[in-house]
Every structure is written in structure tokens, then in C-alpha cells.
A and B are shown apart, each in its own frame.
Chain A
Amino acid sequence: MGTYTVSNAQNLRICVVMVGLPARGKSFISQKIVRYLSWLSFKAKSFNVGGYRRKGAPRPSADFFDYSNAEAYKIREQAVKEAVEDMMKWFEEEEGCVAILDATNSTRVRRNWILKLCRENCIEPMFLESWCDDEDVVLRNIADVKNSSPDYEGVDSEAATSDFLERINKYKEVYQPLQDDIDKDLTFVRLINVAQQVVINRIETYLESRIVFYVMNLHIKPRYIWLSRHGESIYNIEKKIGGDSSLSPRGLKYAAKLKEMVKESAGDRDLTVWTSTLIRTQETAQYLPYKQLQWKALDELDAGVCDGMTYEEIEEKYPEDFKARDEDKYEYRYRGGESYRDVVIRLEPIIMELERQENILIITHQAVLRCIYAYFMNVPQEESPWMSIPLHTLIRLEPRAYGTKVKKIKADIPAVSTYKERGTSQVGETYDEKRKSLHILNSTSD
């Protein structure tokens, strides 16, 4: 394989090389890291070697993974090469920042090969090993794999489990875990039995430490997150943005109803309610019988000079700004105010906290909710600011190992629409097939 030239040596480039036997949660971790970093606007992508292998061997049996099976080995070798080649191309052509090589990378020979290739291309590899000898955890992971992996599509459940266990055994024959002495010069992280013991070696950049901290906060305990906008406010009715107004009579009705809606959805769970510091979210939370915390970070996107105006007024007074915002809503920063990107950065501690916590209800604002929703549902930046999240609707998210499940609960209390489409200053929705994906209520699962 050739050397790839690098022009942007100033920028940090990291390749997270996953290490570990099958069913150790490597793909789960890879996906989460990509989600977290992309949401923070780092260019990140996971390269799953299994996906490449499937091109040559769509549904192999355990024998395929026997290291003495020369023909199969060639196919597997080819898959790794293709994945790495694509990864290098991605670094170069798309100016990637963090790539995840999601494979077992179980032998030292393989890892050294990747190491050398990365360094030749000014990419620093960080090895992330998930090591586990806890049978229960492994079996739970196998159950997840066989439900989600294309390798076992249509295969009887028991047969799949035993085949998979056999596959793991084939890997065990050659597996060389990372070792403190031999690998002491590498940057690596070992997660032992989820995170009972964590070994962190030679973390040399801030970005790496952020990734490790994030991974340490992940948990897979079952839980829910509820999201709601505040009830309809006076400003909503007046079509004004921003401000700090109170709820309208209909908004107050929603606040009253929210209590039963949450109770019905959450049962006896003890929730914590997070609101912003603005009046309308606190009024919405006023009847909820749970502990409540106010976060400044949950305040609505600051519209700067346009605060308190209607879209029509903005279009008239700041026509260029109005146009610029429609063109790149994610990056556009209101004069003296914020952009969606700014909101995401201030929400980062909230996301980290949400990953750690169990049952949380968040009552906040349209733009902030879009950003939080985008994180859990992997919504790309160009779409997230255009998502429609109606008033008077409770959203329940259920983060699972491979994606997040969404449930919407409508309060059935009428409210104005605050949705503004691209290229108009009118609020309100005109339902359009093309925009279907932007309507969160039409995408009920990830």
C-alpha cells in the first residue's frame, strides 16, 4: 500500500484502533464516539471491517474465522486492506479528524502494520481495547449482535449463538491483548470488564483525553430521556422570537397536563427535571412533582439584535442576515447572538451528564431541543436546524446499544406552529413529502 501525502500537518488526526474479541461492544463504542464527535463538529467516521468482509463472504460460518483457513484468511485480509485504504482516502480527501477502525485487530502483527501506516501518514493511532471475561456481559452482547448483525439474518437463534461462540474461540487462539510492557510506547486504553478497570497509557492530546472521558461515562443500563419544549408562550402567539415571556393560557394548560403525561409514561420512576433559566420553561415544569434543576446552558439560542422580533421584521430590517441564515442555518451567528454551533458547544456538558444519568426530563426550547435530539438520533448538521419539533408534545427517547428509540406523546392541546421554512418569513408548516425526514414525528426509530 502506498504512502498518502498529507497537507494539513497542523491539524491533529487520530485513528482510534479498536482491539478485542467479537462481542465486546466494540461497535457500540465506535458508534458512540462517532456520534459524540460529529455532533461536536469534529469530522469523525467509523470503518467497520466486518462490513467490508461481507462483500466477499456475506454469511460465513465459524470455520471461516479459523486462522488455518488460508482462503478465508485472504478474504479477511483483503477486507482490512480495503477498510484502511478507504480510511486513508477519507483522511486525505475529506480532511477527516478522527477515524475509528472497528475490527478485532487481535494480533500484534496486525496492529504494528496499522501503526506504521498511520505514522507514515502523520496520523496518530490510539488503541482502544475492550477486554472482558464476564460471561454475562458477553452473552448479552451476543444476543445484541445476532439480532442486529447481517451475518445471522434468518438464522435460528440458538444456532446463531453457538456459531458465534465458536467464532469467538477461533479468535481466542490468536488473540494478543495489549500489554503494559510490550506496548508501553503506544497510546492505548484498555477497558476491562466494561469499565471495572481502565488502563490509560500515553494520552498526549486533549482530544484523546476527551474521547477517553466520554467512553468512561458510557453505560448501557436501561433508561429513558424525556424531552419537551415549553408550553405555548405569549411570544409564540405574537410570532416573536426569543424574549422571556410567560405562557399563554393554552401553554398553561399543557403545563397542567404534562404532569399526567409524564406520570403515565414514566410510571414510578424517580425523575429529575432540567429546565432552562427562562420563565416559560419553569412555568411549564411548575406542576411536576420531581426534583428540578435550572441550567443556563439550556436557554434558547440567543438571537442577538433580532431578539423579540418577528421573522417578517427581521427580513425587513436585516434582509442580508435573513438570507444568510437561511443559506447556512447551522453556522449563521445572529449579530451579537449565537449560532447553532455555539449552542452545541455550550450543550456539551449537558450531553456528558445525560450519558451518565438515568432518567431525566428536559424542558427547553426549540433550537436547544433540536441540538439534543440531533445528538441522540445522529441527525446531520445540515438538517438538524430545520427539524420540526412541535409544541405540546412529549418525546421519549430510549437509548439502546445500537441506536435510540423514539416515542412521541401528543398532548392534544392546540398550539401555534413556530416552524419557519427556508426562504420564507411565514411561520407554520406546509406538509411536504420531500421534507418528511425533517419531521421528527415521522421518524419513530433510529
Chain B
Amino acid sequence: MSDEMTLKEGFARKSEVESVEHAETLSITTGNHMARTRRRWSRSSQDKRHKGQNLADNVHEAVTFDYISPGQLYSTESGRLFHAGKILVVLVGLPATSKTLLSVAITRYTKWLGVRTWSFHVSEYRRRMAGVGLEEFPIDYFSARPQTAEGSKVRNQILDQVSKDMLAYFKEGKGQLAVYDALNILAEERVQLNQQFMEMGIKVLFIESVMNDSELIKHNVEQASKSADYVGWSKENAIADYVHRIKINKQLYEPMTREEQLSYVKYINFGEQLIVNNNHFGYLVNKIVFFLMNLGEKKGCVYFARCGTSKDDKYIRDEVLNEEGLQYSEVLTDLVLKTINARRLTKSKNAVIESWKNSPKIRAASSGPASPSPSPLIPTHETLRRSESTGNTSVRQPATGDGGDEDSFVVWTAPRKRTFDTAKFFLEKGITVRQKSQLQQLHPGLVADLSKSQIKEKFPEEYREWKKDPYHYRFPRAESYHDLAVRMEPLLLEMERMRGDILIIGHESTLRVLYGYLMACSCSDIPSLQFTRDELIEISFGPFENKVRKVPMPSYRK
């Protein structure tokens, strides 16, 4: 999608006439301001977007009128998942409580599920309005209850605009789920929002993010000081300013209670505790709660690699690796371990690393209990914490092997022989390797092991249909990409749950779908994403967007 892509396309206009009207009601969101923010979201890859691999995270891309998402189970004429209705998700919480991260994550997941979702970030509206910088804003704008006339005027103006846009999105844009990312810390504001939308038959779910863990808050404040609001500020000034924003709102904050009689989820300390209250919405809300249960701040990365080659590269035979495939596996193992260790070393404040090389005790502590040899990974503080708490009955025991720890490393492979064997060198080094049946490659059906030209010759009609929509088209007896995505959904949640590093070794088809989720690719992009055996793909997580890096593979071919 290009720079000219604007929010109004997200609202899916039917006719030109409507489009003009719409542009007026959404004056803030269209035009160059929008283009500028859009550029910021995907600056790193703006130029490459139409050339092959799409490296940008598309979670903030608009959803067009006929948009069909990767994991959509079924679609109805209204474009909504049939039994879920319209829902407004309202974030509630002080600054530095990860509201933006939550709204982006919910948007990513529900969009993938086939829900027409759009997130409305008040901070984006404000930045667009400011145009140039923060200086022009009234001093108490950032308070939930500004004292100056000017402050409350600007604040109301922006909030009114967001609320207008959200209504328009539901009414005209066929939206099903809107995510409203703002403070919403005053009870009266919440009641009013609830009333306003319920009257229109839109259910309102509040998600209140509460943080009382000072480490988490400190971390979030630091993140915020690097945000777009503070470009050109010194770190100290930025932090001081942000802390001030928290302070002025803290005294106004009215936490949600049952007495408000609203439907809400309290999300405490990044998922340490969740309280679900008055949940009458069923399906979609349960799905979101399940998702939130598994969401957490990811410290590690997800790596994607193809499996090694086999002799004839035939699907039906389930072949084993050939010699080149084995060499590839070995080189891949070294590369992944080296990459992960290099990332650990750059976190230089980690004292464990200093003494690592000399202390066999620490080296031994870095491996799991079942591993006889020392881990090839550099230990971190997390490793030490784990080895200290093992056997201590007063604390929760660490679950090894499923990626719960920040410094865990798990390899997932498909059940096919050559994919599993690609991980054999990891297994030898004592690293957890899990075979996941959902990673089974796209079933090719009757076109298995045929080349494109053979398919064209044998199945001319099917081939033509497939060309039109390679994501949804199903060759005779085969799976479509869509089928594959639905089948793989449980893996997404499991992936979200894992805090540490994951390497996924799979067939190109499954890598495409997982990549498509993490980078919010559209159906039309997914079938043509390319993964080669010459590079390792690394995806790292950010609150606003995810990032891709390609790590070249050293030579392994003879």
C-alpha cells in the first residue's frame, strides 16, 4: 500500500459521493498528516513495499471494503463474523501501562481472525493535529481533566473527533471491532461512552491495564521517552515530562469497579492477573481474554528457517535429508546459536555474562535439568534465577521446555522427516525441539509434486482459478492457504505465550502463514512471500510494530 493510502479507504466507501462527505467528517485523518504518520510507521521499508518480500509490519494498514483476513473462518454479507456482533474495546489506564501495545496486539490478532478491526490511538490524532511538535499544546492537555479553558477545549475537540470517527466506522465502514486507545480514567467518561455506543447496538468492553509493579512502570517510561513525542528531547527531560503526565493523572484516576456495572477485563501487571467481569459477549470476548492470557512482553525473537533439502524433493514420499540438507542443518544450528548469543552479549549490563566463561557452575546452570551437557547459550540473570528457584517450594516452579522464560530457546519443527531432522543438531546440543503437527505443510492434494507447467497442462481450469486467488483457492483434495491458517491458529497463541526465542523450521507454506500473522500481511501477499535457504529471518517485537531482519546464511554447499 502506498503513501496515499488513507484512513478513509479503511472505512470502505461505496461511492464517490459518500467519499467526499466522509473526507469532511474525517478532516484530521486524511491528507498529508496521515501520510506522514503512515510513513513513520513503516519508514524502514517504504521503498521496498512492492518489490518482493514485504518487510513492513502491516498491522496499522487499513482494512478495505472487501478485505478478507488470513484466518477468517467464514464471512457473511455484512462482512462480520456471524455470531459476534459489533464491539467497541475501550482501553483504560494511566500513561505507561502498555495500552498502545495491547490495542495493537488485539488489532493484529482479531484482524487475522477475520474481524474487521481498526484501532483509534488518541496520541496519533493529537500528533497529527499538532503537525509539527508538542510545544504548541496547552500545558495541561495531558491531564484527564484540564484546568485551563484552552486545555479542555483542545482535549474535547480531539476526543469528539475520535468518537465521531468510531461511530462512522461502525455505521458506514462495516466495522466490527474498534479499539479505542486513550486514558479513559474517569468513571463519568466511561459511563457516557458505554451509553453512547450501547444505544446503537454496539457492545462495549473495557480493558483496564493496571500496573503496580515499579519495574514494569520504569521500563514503560523509558520506552515512552524514546517515542515519537520526544524526538529531539534529552532522555532526562523526556522522562521527567512523561513522569509528570503520569503524576497529574494519578490523582484523577478512578479504577474500574463492579459498581459501574460495565463489562470489563482488568489486565494487571501485564497479565499476571486478569479479572473478567460481566462477560455476556461470548465468542469474541472469550477469544480476546484467551489471547490476553497468553500475551506478554516478548524479550526474545522468532526465527524462521526452511528445512534442509532431500534427494528428490517429493511431497508424497516424506523423504530424509540428503548430504547438502545435513550440511545446511549444521550451518543453520551454528548461525542461530551465534545470533542469539550475540543478542545476549549486547545487553552488557548483564553481569552473568562477565563471569560466564570462567565459571563451569554457571555454565551448567544455563542448561535445562534434563540436559547432561552445558548449554551452548550464554546464561543470563533469568538462567540464574531459574536455577536458584528450582526445588524451592515457596515459589512457583519454572516450567521448562515450553518457552515460558525470557531466556528460553525452543525449536519447533513439522512432523515430516526432513524437517524434524533439520533440528537434529539442536537436539544433540540439549536444546528443546518440539514436533508440532500443526506445522505440517500445506497439503497439495492432486497437484502434489507437479511443477507449475505440469499443473497448467493437467489442470488448466483449476490453474486459472488458482491464479485469480492463490490464497483461498483449493486445488482438488488440497488445502488452501486459508485452510492452513485456520488449522495453525492454536500455534499463534502458543507463540504469543513464549517469552524467549523460538526457531521455527518448516515448509515455506507454514512459514508464510506465521510470518503473515506477525507482520499482518494480507491474503494477497502471503502466498508469494519468499523464504530461501540462504537466509535466516528474525522477527523482533515492539509495542507499536514488529521488525524483520534478514541474517545471511554462511555458505554450506560444496
Complex: chain A residue closest to B266, CB-CB:
A199
Secondary structure dominating the interface of A: mixed
Interface residues of A in 192-209 (CB under 8 A from B): 195-207, 209
- Report whether A9 and B486 are in contact in the complex, using a CB–CB cutoff of 8 Å: no
Number of interface residues of A (CB under 8 A): 52
- Report whether A342 and B437 are in contact in the complex, using a CB–CB cutoff of 8 Å: yes
Taking CB atoms, residues of chain B closer than 8 Å to A8 are: 370
Which of A21-29, A114-122, A372-380 lines the interface with chain B? A114-122
Taking CB atoms, residues of chain B closer than 8 Å to A305 are: 316
**Known contacts A9-B400, A209-B290, A297-B487: A335-B278 contact under CB 8 Å:** no
Taking CB atoms, residues of chain A closer than 8 Å to B165 are: none
Partner of B318, one of A9, A115, A297, A336: A336
Which of A127-135, A212-220, A410-418 lines the interface with chain B? A212-220
**Known contacts A196-B278, A201-B272, A213-B290: A206-B494 contact under CB 8 Å:** yes
B477 is an interface residue with CB less than 8 A from chain A = yes
A126 CB → nearest B CB, Å? 10
Taking CB atoms, residues of chain A closer than 8 Å to B148 are: none
Interface residues of A in 116-157 (CB under 8 A from B): 116, 119-120, 122, 124
Taking CB atoms, residues of chain A closer than 8 Å to B437 are: 341-342, 345
Q: Bound complex: CA of A209 vs CA of B399, how far in Å?
A: 14
B286 is an interface residue with CB less than 8 A from chain A = yes
- Report whether B486 and A198 are in contact in the complex, using a CB–CB cutoff of 8 Å: no
A50 CB → nearest B CB, Å? 28
Annotate B286-303 by CB proximity to A: 1 below 8 A, 0 otherwise.
100110011000000000
A174 is an interface residue with CB less than 8 A from chain B = no
Taking CB atoms, residues of chain B closer than 8 Å to A12 are: 399, 401-402
B368 is an interface residue with CB less than 8 A from chain A = yes
- Report whether A244 and B477 are in contact in the complex, using a CB–CB cutoff of 8 Å: yes
- Report whether A209 and B490 are in contact in the complex, using a CB–CB cutoff of 8 Å: no
- Further 19 A-B residue pairs, CB within 8 A, beyond A9-B369, A244-B477: A122-B397, A124-B396, A195-B279, A198-B289, A199-B273, A200-B273, A200-B289, A201-B274, A203-B293, A204-B399, A204-B404, A209-B293, A213-B289, A296-B486, A335-B318, A341-B437, A348-B490, A349-B486, A356-B283
- Which of B278, B317, B483 is packed against the most chain A CB atoms within 10 Å? B483
**Known contacts A12-B402, A297-B487: A336-B316 contact under CB 8 Å:** yes
Task: Tell me the B residues contacting A by CB distance below 8 Å.
Answer: 74, 258, 271-279, 282-283, 286, 289-290, 293-294, 315-318, 368-370, 393, 395-397, 399-402, 404, 432, 437-438, 440, 443, 448, 474, 476-477, 479-480, 483, 486-487, 489-490, 493-494, 497-498
Partner of A10, one of B271, B293, B400, B480: B400
A190 CB → nearest B CB, Å? 9
**Nearest 3 pairs between A and B by C-beta?**
A296-B483, A119-B393, A213-B290
Task: Tell me the A residues contacting B by CB distance below 8 Å.
Answer: 8-12, 115-116, 119-120, 122, 124, 180, 184-187, 195-207, 209, 212-213, 216-217, 244, 277, 293, 296-297, 302, 304-305, 307, 335-336, 341-342, 345-346, 348-349, 356
Q: Bound complex: CA of A240 vs CA of B394, how far in Å?
A: 61
Complex: chain B residue closest to A341, CB-CB:
B437
Taking CB atoms, residues of chain A closer than 8 Å to B399 are: 12, 124, 204-205
Taking CB atoms, residues of chain B closer than 8 Å to A199 are: 273-276
**Known contacts A206-B497, A342-B440: A200-B486 contact under CB 8 Å:** no
B494 CB → nearest A CB, Å? 5
- Report whether B74 and A293 are in contact in the complex, using a CB–CB cutoff of 8 Å: yes
- Report whether A336 and B315 are in contact in the complex, using a CB–CB cutoff of 8 Å: yes
Q: Bound complex: CA of A180 vs CA of B294, how far in Å?
A: 20
B130 CB → nearest A CB, Å? 39
**Known contacts A119-B397, A204-B396: A346-B293 contact under CB 8 Å:** no
- Report whether B293 and A213 are in contact in the complex, using a CB–CB cutoff of 8 Å: yes
Q: Bound complex: CA of A305 vs CA of B289, how far in Å?
A: 42
Q: Bound complex: CA of A217 vs CA of B277, how far in Å?
A: 15
- Report whether A202 and B272 are in contact in the complex, using a CB–CB cutoff of 8 Å: yes
Taking CB atoms, residues of chain B closer than 8 Å to A180 are: 273
Q: Bound complex: CA of A433 vs CA of B150, how far in Å?
A: 87
Taking CB atoms, residues of chain B closer than 8 Å to A115 are: 393
Taking CB atoms, residues of chain B closer than 8 Å to A349 are: 486, 489-490
- Report whether B404 and A201 are in contact in the complex, using a CB–CB cutoff of 8 Å: no
Q: Bound complex: CA of A196 vs CA of B278, how far in Å?
A: 5
Taking CB atoms, residues of chain A closer than 8 Å to B476 are: 244
A204 CB → nearest B CB, Å? 6
**Known contacts A198-B275, A212-B293: A185-B395 contact under CB 8 Å:** yes
Partner of A120, one of B272, B290, B393: B393
Taking CB atoms, residues of chain A closer than 8 Å to B393 are: 115-116, 119-120
**Known contacts A124-B396, A202-B272, A296-B486: A209-B368 contact under CB 8 Å:** no
Complex: chain A residue closest to B272, CB-CB:
A202
- Report whether A346 and B493 are in contact in the complex, using a CB–CB cutoff of 8 Å: no
